[in-house]
């Protein structure tokens, strides 16, 4: 089984946009489980010095896949996330 790590980077407590981004990631991850792709979802705080230093992200929501920021400052569609996760699992 392939594993992909996703970090949903946002504010704490999560705003509506950050919640929507996480839901899109969760739905895409659920679809990919049937294809033997395990998606590990973590939450990261956009105001954390560690997160800013690691990713340089200053706007939320942002999505990092396997340590690389793929989306920043907008809520992605479920299909877009699914496509990025498939690509990362190759």
Per-residue pLDDT of the chain (90 residues; tens, 9 = 90+): 899 999 999 998 989 999 999 999 999 999 999 889 999 999 999 999 999 999 999 899 999 999 999 999 999 999 999 999 999 999
- What gap in Å lies between CA 90 and CA 74, rounded to an integer? 25
How high is the pLDDT of residue 58? 86
How high is the pLDDT of residue 56? 93
The CATH code belonging to domain 2-89 is 3.40.30.10
- What gap in Å lies between CA 62 and CA 35, rounded to an integer? 25
How high is the pLDDT of residue 61? 97
Listed by start position, the domains of the chain span: 2-89
């Amino acid at each position: 089984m392939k594993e992909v790590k996703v970090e949903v980077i946002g504010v704490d407590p999560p705003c509506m946009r950050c919640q929507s981004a996480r839901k899109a990631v969760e739905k895409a991850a659920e679809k990919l489980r049937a294809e033997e792709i395990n998606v590990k979802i973590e939450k990261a705080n956009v105001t954390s010095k560690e997160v800013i230093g690691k990713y340089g992200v200053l706007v939320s929501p942002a999505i990092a896949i396997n340590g690389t920021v793929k989306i920043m400052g907008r809520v992605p569609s479920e299909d877009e996330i699914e496509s990025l996760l498939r690509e990362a699992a190759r």
